[in-house]
Amino acid sequence: MINEKLTKELQEQITENKTEIDNIEKDFLYSTNEIATNEKWVDGRTIYKKSYTGNCSVGTKVLDTMPDLDMIIHGYGFCISNYDWAWNIPYSGGGDYANNYRFGTNNKEIQLTFGSHYNNNQKFVFTIKYVKIQ
């Protein structure tokens, strides 16, 4: 009887620990598909994460249109310039190296803009964390 009770409690603890580990691992997962993180916004909504990759090009590039996106909480990434330097996204310190991201609250577009020192042969990686409309 005692062994059965201890075995059951141990199995419950293992299941609980596995769930915690799975949740921690999810925080380090990056994907071009939407991921529900274990984070919550100040109003209790789930924070989602999505990554984008592609080629840099001078001017503005539409990455995605997300009708249910309410607010971008954090955007981060990098892109490679024509001179093989990796620059943070966003970066505003160098004129032709400047790049940024923005979200159109009306058209629901997520856009990246690159200065003149980027071309189609260079790569970018960009990730957003966001909440959806309730």
pLDDT in tens, 12-36: 776 776 666 666 666 668 899 999 9
Supply the pLDDT for residue 12.
Answer: 73
What would the two tokens of residue 85 be? 């330097």
Spell out the domain ranges in the chain. Answer: 1-29, 31-132
Supply the pLDDT for residue 100.
Answer: 85
Query: Whole-prediction pTM value?
Result: 0.76
Task: Please enumerate, as own/partner, the contacts of 80-85 that have beta carbons within 8 Å and a separation of 24 or more.
Answer: 80/56, 80/118, 80/122, 80/123, 80/124, 81/56, 81/117, 81/118, 81/122, 82/117, 82/118, 82/119, 82/122, 83/117
Q: Higher pLDDT residue, 43 or 26? A: 43
Q: What's the chain's Rg over C-alpha atoms? A: 20
| Model confidence pLDDT, tens digit, residues 69-126 | 999 999 999 888 877 788 888 887 767 778 888 888 888 899 988 888 887 778 899 9
Supply the pLDDT for residue 44.
Answer: 95
Supply the pLDDT for residue 122.
Answer: 83
Supply the pLDDT for residue 105.
Answer: 82
CA 42 from chain centre, in angstroms, equals 18
Q: Distance (Å, rounded) from C-alpha 86 to C-alpha 57?
A: 15
Q: Kindly report whether the peptide bond that precedes residue 67 is cis, defined as omega within 30 degrees of 0.
A: no
8 A C-beta contact, residue 126 and residue 114? no
